Structure formats: structure tokens, C-alpha cells
Amino acid sequence: MLTQQELVERMREWAVRVTPQRLAIAEVVLNSQDHPTVQQIYERVRDHFPSMTLATIYSTLGVLQKSGLIQELPFQRQSRYEPNMEPHVNLVCIECENVIDADTSSDVHDMVVSLRNSVTERSDFEVGWQRVDFYGLCPRCSAAKRRGELAEV
């Protein structure tokens, strides 16, 4: 986790001014675990900045992304935002639509890294970052389905 000082420095690479609004947005996203949508970020930040608008959120998310601090994850309906830039795996439940990081043990990390190495070894593709999503049913929805509570998929 970055200190606020480091965060400000990173943001200055792409934004001339780092305002309290931007800091608040950055902190909401960087401290999140649930890959929030723009709406969710908006709701969380609005507590501190009632005048906050979506345009400002989008603008700041753009800055954070260009600073390499977060990653946009486009989904079918809308994007979510990922503060974990380390190689890892996302588990996406197709039923409840929650997105969580898979157990971040070092060997999952290492496997993604070596997959990346293996791919770059044999192509001149210059990889900057990656997105690894596994889609399926989370334990809760999986159980609900077994109990017949879910419509057929």
C-alpha cells in the first residue's frame, strides 16, 4: 500500500494538481476490495464531498489509470476498478456479479508471472499489465443453485 505522499507523487506524473477530491477518490479505490463500479465509488466519495459529480470521478479514474495505480476492468454493462496491479486472478460470479481476488498466495502470483514470461519469450509482444478473470459461481451462489433456488443457467 502506498503512503499518501507516494500516492501524490505518482498522481503528479499525470495531473498537475492533486486536490482533496482526487485524493478522496484515489483512497476509496485503492483501499477497496470489491472492485467497485463508478456508481459505488461515487456513493462512497459523496459522503465527504456532497458536490462530487460523476464527471469528476471519471476524470480522476483516468488520471489514476494513466499513473499506473489502478486498472479499469470493462464488464458487459459497466466498468469496475482494480487497485491490485500485481499479477493475480479475479473470481467473477456470473450470478451475483461480485468480483473478488482469488486467494493471493505467492504461487498463484508466480504462476501468472511465469505464464507471462512464457508468452513473451516466444513473441515480441511487450506486456505492460494483465487481466486474469475466472468466471463461474461463487460458493454462495453455487450452493443456492444446488438447492434449486436459482433459475436454470
Partner DNA sequence: TTTCATGCAAATGATTTGCACTGTA
Partner DNA sequence: TACAGTGCAAATCATTTGCATGAAA
Where along the sequence are the contacts to DNA (CB under 7 A)? Answer: 15-17, 19, 21-22, 37-38, 49, 51-56, 58-60, 62, 74, 76-79
Give the residue among 105, 93, 36 at the shortest CA–CA distance from 64.
36
Pick one of DNA, a copy of itself, none as the site partner of residue 91 (Cβ within 5 to 8 A by kind). Answer: a copy of itself
20 binding a copy of itself? (CB under 8 A): no
Other CB atoms within a 10 A radius of the CB of residue 45 amount to 21
**For residues 77 and 96, what is the distance between their CA atoms, to the nearest angstrom?**
14
If one asks whether residue 86 binds a copy of itself (CB under 8 A), the answer comes out as: no
Grid cell in block for residue 85: 496491479
Neighbours of 46 (CB within 10 A): 14
- Which residues contact a copy of itself by CB under 8 A? 72, 74-76, 79, 89, 91, 93-94, 102-103, 105, 107-108, 111-112, 114-116, 118-119, 122-139, 142
